[in-house]
Amino acid sequence: MSQPSPAPTAHPPTDAHDAVLLVNLGTPEAPTPDAVRRYLLEFLSDRRVVSLPPLLWQPILRGAVLPLRCKRVAALYADIWMEGGSPLLVYTRGLAERVAERLPGLRVAHAMRYGTPSLVRELERLKAEGARRVLVLPLYPQYSTTTTASVDDVAGRAALPVRVVQDYHVDAGWVEAVAASIRAAWQVQPRGERLLFSFHGIPQRVVDAGDPYQAQCRASTVAVARALGLPDDGIMLTFQSRFGREKWLQPYTDATMRALGESGVKRIDVVCPGFAVDCLETLEEIALQNAELFREHGGETLRYIPCLNADPGHADALAALVARELQQWTPDTH
């Protein structure tokens, strides 16, 4: 979307030594097998992501998973690569720039939990440049021990005070931004027969152990549906991107695509509000793979509604969230 002039600024904090770091998951530096291997090795070696003991998991990862996946994944990245890098990096960078425009006088940067720009290095750089404390905003609207907690792990080792925003899954500004993006799509073309919310999945055992992610995904879905004036039975919630053979959160997005097509549904709209910006999982897995799967089973059109990316409404919502978090950060709170 084109970017109009910045909206009125949020109420920025008064301490010019504060900094804000928007953190996304990560991405390879290039759409090549070697770059993908470096990225996946770091990502899949995190015990928050794969909890198997390293002595058991590392031989499997290095001897089987990476050799089998890197070439194929690199080809998928090549299909969506942009001039400035991977979509996740390009859009995260753009979002940080838009948020900075709304918070003048405050340093706003971006980092990746895995890959570059490194979260560890960015925290070190901000400290070296004079930041006295850093508010870290993980670009995961819904909290999970597999994502946000890993950012917490790094932040807890920083050499300066760091506060991590835990989630914003029902934040009013964010909910309205998602709803507005769906309304805008419906103004261009009539809505489909179904509106499907697809979130990244996690293993069912993680939720069974107390992770709030599934409940927060449901709460986000309901909040957006209500902002759109839709009844609860007018929407569908599914989970995508499962890996391995164990049971993950259900219903699965791909299985739902098959079932919808076979049931006679011809047109569906899909939105992925668990992703702050578009990436491989949305642009390739949903907009290409699942669209093809839907057609193969009798459907006609899957319209993917893009992530919020650097949309002004998204930047407005996150800038307001940042301002509130900084105002609430007193010397006695973390």
Q: What is the CATH number of the domain that holds 139?
A: 3.40.50.1400
Q: What are phi and psi of 192, to 5 degrees?
A: -75, 180
pLDDT for residue 6 is more than 50: no
174-188 pLDDT, tens digit each:
999 999 999 999 999
User: Does residue 213 share a domain with residue 125?
Assistant: no
d(CA 170, CA 152): 21
pLDDT computed for residue 334 by the predictor: 57
Average pLDDT (213-240) is: 95
Residue 11 lies in a domain: no
Predicted confidence (pLDDT) per residue in 12-59, tens digit: 544 668 999 999 999 999 999 999 999 999 999 999 999 999 999 999
Would you give the DSSP letter of residue 232?
G
CB contact set of 304 (below 8 Å; sequence gap of 6+): 270, 271, 272, 282, 283, 286, 287, 291
Strands (E) in 183-328, as ranges, are 194-200, 235-240, 267-271, 301-305
Residue 281 assigned to a binding site: yes
Complete DSSP assignment for 26-74: EE-SSSSHHHHHHHHHHHHT-TTT--S-HHHHHHHIIIIIHHHHHHHHH
Instruction: Assess whether 190 and 267 both reside in one domain.
Output: yes
Whether 4 has a pLDDT exceeding 50, the answer reads no
Q: What would the DSSP string read from start to end of 135-172?
A: EEEES-SS--TTTHHHHHHHHTT-SS-EEE----TT-H
Residues 59 and 119 in one domain: yes
In a domain, 80, yes or no: yes
Residue 17's pLDDT is 83
Residue 265 binned pLDDT confidence (cut-offs 50, 70, 90):
very high
Is 6 a member of any domain?
no
pLDDT at residue number 208? 98
Same domain? For 161 and 176 the reply is: no
- pLDDT of 1 reads 38
Q: Do residue 295 and residue 317 come from a single domain?
A: no
What average pLDDT is seen over the chain? 94
Residue 5 covered by a domain: no
Q: Do 78 and 182 lie in a common domain?
A: no
**CA–CA dist 268, 232 (Å, integer):** 16
Question: Can you tell me the distance from the alpha carbon of 116 to that of 27, in angstroms, rounded to the nearest whole number?
Answer: 8
pTM for this model (two decimals): 0.94
Same domain, 201 and 155: no
Residue 208 placed within a domain: yes
Q: Within this chain, do residues 131 and 260 fall inside the same structural domain, yes or no?
A: no
The answer to which of 8-12, 95-99, 267-271, 318-322 has the lowest mean pLDDT is 8-12
Element (H, E) at 78: helix 66-80
**Domain total in the chain:** 2
d(CA 199, CA 241): 9
Short-list 25, 14, 92, 86, CA closest to 241: 25
Largest CA distance in the chain: 60
Residue 151: which domain range? 18-168+311-328
Note the pLDDT of residue 333. 58
Q: Within this chain, do residues 199 and 157 fall inside the same structural domain, yes or no?
A: no
| Per-residue model confidence as pLDDT tens digits over 188-220 | 999 999 999 999 999 999 999 999 999 999 999
Q: Is 200 annotated as a binding residue?
A: yes
Q: Is residue 195 part of a domain?
A: yes
Tell me, what's the pLDDT at 332?
Answer: 58
Whole-number pLDDT of residue 14: 45
pLDDT at 8: 45
Same domain, 116 and 187: no
Whether residues 106 and 151 fall in one domain: yes
Does residue 7 lie in a domain region?
A: no
What contacts 55, CB < 8 A, 6 or more positions away? none
Indicate whether 110 belongs to any domain: yes
Q: What is the pLDDT of residues 120-176, one digit of tens each?
A: 999 999 999 999 999 999 999 999 999 999 999 999 999 999 999 999 999 999 999
Same domain for 184 and 196, yes or no, is yes
Q: What is the pLDDT of residue 10?
A: 52
Cα dihedral sign, 59-118-68-275: positive
pLDDT, residue 13, reads 46
